[in-house]
Amino acid sequence: MCNAHLYLRSKARVRYGQMQACSIFPTDSDLYYIFDDYGRLDRRFCGRGTQRGSGVWGSELDYDEILLIKSLDIRSSVQATEKRLLMARMLTAVVLEFAREQQRKFFAIVASPEDDERAWEEDIYYRRPLPQDQEFCALGSRFWQLHRFRRIGLSPFLAFTDDINHPSRALIDDFRLPRKRVASALVQDWMSEVESLLSGRALDFEILLIGFTEDVPTPSWTWVDSEGMTILHHAARSAKVYAVDYFMRAFPPLIEMRDIFNRTPLDALLNEREVETIICTFEEDIRLPDWKYVTCIGLLSGTEIYQPLSLEDFDNPTDTMAIMKTMDAKYARIMTSTLQIVFGCTCGCCIFGAISPRMSYQLLYHARKAAATWSNIWSHVFGRTDPLSSILYATCLRRTKAQHEITQAEQKTVAAAVEVIVNWFIHSFTGELLVRDGTMRSTILSQVPATAPDAADYLQRDGLELLVVDLIFDRAVKTDEWVGNGQILEECGPELRALPECQNDSQYVHLLRRYLQYIRTIERIHWD
C-alpha cells in the first residue's frame, strides 16, 4: 500500500503552533517534520540550498499544496530487489496520476525506494546479481526522470513540479542514483579486486571480469572508496579505454551511473594527468595529452559522447573501440593547451563546438596536424605506431564533414560576391555616389543579387556586406582615389579576396566593428 498525504503550506504555521500548545501530535503531525514555523521546508530537505540558489525554501518559492508520499509498503513475500523497486515505482505513478487528476499544481515529495538500506543489505546477503539487460536500466533513474522527479540536495528525498519555470527547480539537483559507500572493512578487498581487474591485458579483461563478478557482489558497481571514486573512475584513471567502454555497453545500469559522478573526483581525475611529458629522440620536451586517458574522461563526463567506430579505413586498423563523437569543455581545454604548446596556435574557437560553419575547416586542419605529430612522436619514442593515433583525426573528420562542405560552398559564394562588388567599384565608382543617406552602399549591394543570388543571401545573413563596403571605403581614404582607375583593385583586391579566411570569429567581429567607423569618416570628409 502507499501512504500519501496532501498538505497546505498556508496552514503549516498555525498547525505547528497548535502542536506546541497542546504538546500532542495530531494526525497530520508530518507538518512538524516537513515545515518550520515560518511555513518553509525543513533544512534537511535542502542540504545544498545555499549553493544552488537563494538558500531559502520559503512560500515565495513553492506551491501551497505539498504532496508527501510517506511510505511505500511492499509485500514481504517479494524478496527480489528489482521487483520491490518496480512495485514501489508503480505505486508512486498511481498516486501521481490521482493527484494530477485534481488539475491543481502541487509540489510532490517522496522518499526514494533506491535509498532503502535494507534492500541493498538483503541483496548483498543473498548475493543475488542485478539484471544485466535493458529492462533493469529502465527501472532506475529513467522512471524518476520520466515523472520529472529530482533529488533535493543531499537528502534521500525526491521532488518534482510540473512547472518548468518554477523557482524551486533552481534549488533542486538533477536526480542521481544512490552511491553506497563501502564499509571500511571491505575497502581494501574491493580496491585490490578492482586493481587486479584493471591491471590485466585487454585480451584477458572479460575473463578477469567474470572472476571479479563472482568474488564481489554486483551492487559494488555503485560503491565508492574513501576518495569518492567508483569503479569507472578507477578505469579512467588507469586509461583503460576498453574497460570503460565495456562497462558502458555490457552493463546498462552503469550508463545511468554516469549521471551520479561527483564533479570533484572527476575534476581531480582530469587535473591528475592533464598532460604528459614525452622525451623525444630529437631531445625536445613536447607536452601532449594522453589520448587514451582523455577518451576515458570523455566517456564519463558527457552525455552520449561515445560510439563504436571501426578504424579499418585508416593506416592502423584496430578492433572496434569507443571514441569521442563530440568535444566537451574539458576536452577542449586540453586540446587548446596542446595546440598552444605544440603548434603555437592561439585560436581557441576552432576547438570548441560552438564555431561558425566557415571556421570548421580550422578544426580539420589542426586535427590532421595533431594526429600526425602524435603518431610520429610515438613511433620515434617507442619504435612502433600507436593504434590510437588516428582517433583524433577520425573524430574531427566525422564531426565536421557536413560543416566543411557547407564552408567550401559558402566561401565560393562569398568570393563571387566580392568579385561583383570590386568589379562594380572599379568601373562605376564616382564621388557623387558618396552621399549621407548611404546611397552608395545600397547601390553597391544592389548589383549583387542579379549576379550571385546565393552570395547576396549569405552576405545579408552574415552582415559581411558592411565589412566589404567599409573595406573599400577604408582603402579609398588611404589612397585618396575617388575615381575608378584600377589602382583600387590592385591594392584592395587581394585584401578583399582574403576576407573569408578570417582566423576566428572574434577577429571577424573586431574587423567588422572597426570598419564600420570608416563609413562615418568618409562621409564626414566628403561633406567637409
First CA to last CA distance, the chain: 89
Grid cell, residue 426, equals: 572599379
Distance separating alpha carbons of residues 388 and 133, to the nearest angstrom: 30
Per the prediction, the chain carries an average pLDDT of: 51
The pLDDT value given to residue 240 = 75
The pLDDT value given to residue 235 = 79
Burial-class residue 346 by CB neighbours within 10 Å (0-12, 13-18, 19+).
exposed
Higher-scoring residue by pLDDT: 253, 311: 253
Is 60 exceeded by the pLDDT of residue 198?
yes
Which pairs count as long-range contacts for 470-473, CB under 8 Å and 24+ apart, including other chains? 470/515, 470/516, 470/518, 470/519, 471/495, 471/496, 471/499, 471/515, 472/421, 472/422, 472/425, 472/444, 472/496, 473/515, 473/518, 473/519, 473/521, 473/522
Per-residue confidence band for 231, with pLDDT thresholds at 50, 70 and 90: confident
Q: What are the tens digits of pLDDT across the range 122-177?
A: 443 333 443 333 333 334 444 555 555 655 544 445 666 555 554 444 444 333 33
The pLDDT value given to residue 243 = 75
Nearest to 12 by CA among 78, 80, 64: 64
Q: What are the tens digits of pLDDT across the range 330-343?
A: 444 444 444 443 33
Distance separating alpha carbons of residues 81 and 123, to the nearest angstrom: 7
Which pairs count as long-range contacts for 143-146, CB under 8 Å and 24+ apart, including other chains? 143/89, 144/112, 144/175, 145/175
Composition of the chain by helix, strand, coil, percent to 5? 60, 10, 30
Between the CA atoms of 172, 174, 178 and 183, what dihedral angle is there, to the nearest 10 degrees?
Answer: -70
The pLDDT value given to residue 221 = 55
Burial-class residue 335 by CB neighbours within 10 Å (0-12, 13-18, 19+).
buried
**C-alpha of 109 from chain center:** 29
Q: Which amino acid is at 431?
A: G
The pLDDT value given to residue 233 = 74
Q: What are the tens digits of pLDDT across the range 3-39?
A: 666 666 555 444 434 434 333 333 444 444 555 554 4
**Most confidently predicted of 137-151, 260-274, 355-369, 457-471:** 457-471
Mean predicted confidence (pLDDT) in 312-320: 34
Is 50 exceeded by the pLDDT of residue 324?
no
Phi and psi dihedrals of 331, rounded to 5?
-65, -40
Q: What are the tens digits of pLDDT across the range 411-420?
A: 666 666 666 6
Nearest to 317 by CA among 399, 368, 390, 243: 390
Is 60 exceeded by the pLDDT of residue 239?
yes
pTM summary value: 0.31
Which of 123-137, 198-212, 389-403, 491-505 has the weakest average pLDDT? 123-137
Mean predicted confidence (pLDDT) in 355-373: 45
Per-residue confidence band for 60, with pLDDT thresholds at 50, 70 and 90: very low
